[in-house]
Amino acid sequence: MPGEIAKVTGGRDIAAVVFEEEVIARRVAELGREIAEFYPDGDLLVMGLLKGSFIFVADLVRRIPRPLEVDFMIAASYGTGTKSSGNVRLLYDSGTTLEGKHILLVEDIVDSGNTLKRVSTLVGERNPKSLETCTLLNKNLSRHEDIQPRFVGFDAPPDFLVGYGLDHAEEFRHLRFIASIEE
């Protein structure tokens, strides 16, 4: 495995593999079933928060055995650092009508909860039928008590994580596993 990691990362910055590809795939399938059971009917819109969630959203919606729509928003708070700036900027807003629909916000990782708080507030103002959140990784560091994801893939360690859509300065998104990087 170390040789394989060096091959896909160019040997840069990977400290350890945290979640293997097979473990992620199993959990995403379970989440798909849980979401379908939670939303047995009604219009469901899965709203991915880009860029980090794009691989997770693609895999997740294929595992939700019911009709749904997919759209995206782009919010940013990291830039090129490994710590959130705390300043959440909305770079792209959805043009989809949200009123009267079940909205499932899908995030790659929740740490401070600032991004999810900002986007949840914005989406909530558009009168959805319901609003829930799903995250692949939860660091359980949210300072916002009202921002607790309904669906969580994994509790994550405090390390800076990359792979499976998560990046550091736009690198490492292509990895099929999730790894920590050396800071």
Catalytic residues: 111
Amino acid making up residue 47: M
Report the first-to-last Cα separation within the chain, whole angstroms. 22
The two structure tokens encoding residue 5: 């990691």
The two structure tokens encoding residue 142: 């949210």
Distance CA 123, CA 120 (A): 5
Q: CB-based contacts of 66: which residues, under 8 Å, 6+ apart?
A: 36, 39, 40, 44
Hunting for tokens 């401070």 — which residue is that?
A: 112
Residues in the chain: 183
Contact assessment for residue 135 and residue 110, using Cβ atoms and an 8 Å cutoff: yes
The DSSP output letter for 164 is: T
Q: Give the CA radius of gyration of the chain.
A: 16
